[in-house]
Amino acid sequence: MASAFVAFLLLFYFTSAAATFSDTSHVINLNSQIHAKIGPTAWYSPSGRFAFGFLPQGNGFLVGIWIVDYTNNADSQNITVWTANRDHPPVPSSATIELTREGRLVMNADNGEIRIADIPEAAACASMEDSGNFVLYGESSNAIWESFDFPTDTILGGQKLPGSHTLFSKVSSSNFSTGRFRLDMQSDGNLVAYPAQIAPEPTDAYWATGTDDKQGQYYLHLDDAGGLKLGEEEFNSKVIKQLNGNYSENMGKTIYRATLDPDGNFRLYYNTSTDHLWQAFNNTCQAKGFCGFNSYCTVTDHQPSCYCVPGTDLINSGETYDGCRRNFTKQKCRGGKTDTTFSYITTAQKLKWEDIPYFSALMSEEDCKKSCLDDCYCDAAEYDSNICNKHQFPLRYGSRDIQKNSTTFFKIGTRRIENRNRTISPELVAVVTTSKKTWLLIPLLTVSLVTYSCAALATFGVFVFKTRVIKYKWLLASRTSGLAKELTLRLYSYKELKEATKGFKEELGKGSFGAVYKGNLNNGEKLVAVKRLQKLVEEGEREFQSEMRAIGKTHHRNLVRLLGYCTEGSNRLLVYEYMSNGSLADLLFRSERCPNWQERVRIAIDVAKGILYLHEECEAPIIHCDIKPQNILLDEFWMAKISDFGLAKLLMPDQTRTMTDTRGTRGYVAPEWQKNMPISLKVDVYSYGIVLLEIICCRRNIDLNVSRPEEIQLSGWAYSCFAAGELGKLVRNEGVDEKPLERMVSVALWCIQSDPILRPSMKGVVLMLEGFTNISTPPCPTA
Orientation angle between helical segments 738-751 and 682-697, nearest 10 degrees: 150
Q: Which residue's beta carbon is nearest to the bound ligand NAG? A: 58
User: Which distant-in-sequence residues (6+ apart) come within 8 Å of 56 by Cβ?
Assistant: none
Q: What is the three-class DSSP state of 498?
A: helix
Provide, rounded to whole angstroms, the least separation between the CB of residue 323 and ligand NAG: 14
Measured distance CA(144)–CA(262) in Å, rounded: 31
3-state helix, strand, coil in the chain (%, to 5): 25, 25, 45
Give the active site residues: 626
Q: Quick one: DSSP state of residue 137?
A: E
Provide, rounded to whole angstroms, the least separation between the CB of residue 526 and ligand NAG: 34
Give the per-residue SS3 of 200-246.
CCHHHCCEECCCCCCCCCEEEEECCCCCEEEEECHHHHEEEEECCCC
Neighbouring C-beta atoms of residue 493, cutoff 10 Å: 12
Smaller CB distance to ligand NAG: residue 298 or 631?
A: 298
Q: What is the three-class DSSP state of 703?
A: coil
Q: Give the footprint of ligand NAG on this chain (CB under 6 A).
A: 42, 51, 57-58, 68-69, 77-78, 90, 171, 175, 177, 223, 225, 227, 246, 248, 250, 253-254, 270-271, 281-282, 310-311, 327-328, 405, 416, 419, 421, 459, 461
Q: Quick one: DSSP state of residue 493?
A: P
Provide, rounded to whole angstroms, the least separation between the CB of residue 148 and ligand NAG: 19
- Asked if 86 and 176 count as a contact pair (C-beta separation under 8 A), the reply is yes
Measured in degrees and rounded to the nearest 5, phi and psi for residue 140 equal -95, 30
Smaller CB distance to ligand NAG: residue 225 or 333?
A: 225
Smaller CB distance to ligand NAG: residue 214 or 404?
A: 404
Measured distance CA(106)–CA(374) in Å, rounded: 62
Closest CA to 737 of 601, 638, 602: 601
Provide, rounded to whole angstroms, the least separation between the CB of residue 71 and ligand NAG: 7
Closest CA to 80 of 46, 116, 42: 42
Smaller CB distance to ligand NAG: residue 177 or 558?
A: 177
Smaller CB distance to ligand NAG: residue 150 or 328?
A: 328
Provide, rounded to whole angstroms, the least separation between the CB of residue 125 and ligand NAG: 21
Smaller CB distance to ligand NAG: residue 177 or 338?
A: 177
Measured distance CA(481)–CA(477) in Å, rounded: 8
Smaller CB distance to ligand NAG: residue 49 or 699?
A: 49
Provide, rounded to whole angstroms, the least separation between the CB of residue 351 and ligand NAG: 14
Measured in degrees and rounded to the nearest 5, phi and psi for residue 291 equal -105, 150
531 carries a ligand binding annotation: yes
Judge if the upstream peptide bond of residue 394 is cis by omega within 30 degrees of 0. yes
Measured distance CA(215)–CA(773) in Å, rounded: 10
Measured distance CA(727)–CA(719) in Å, rounded: 9
Provide, rounded to whole angstroms, the least separation between the CB of residue 130 and ligand NAG: 12
Annotated binding site for ATP: 531
Annotated binding site: 531
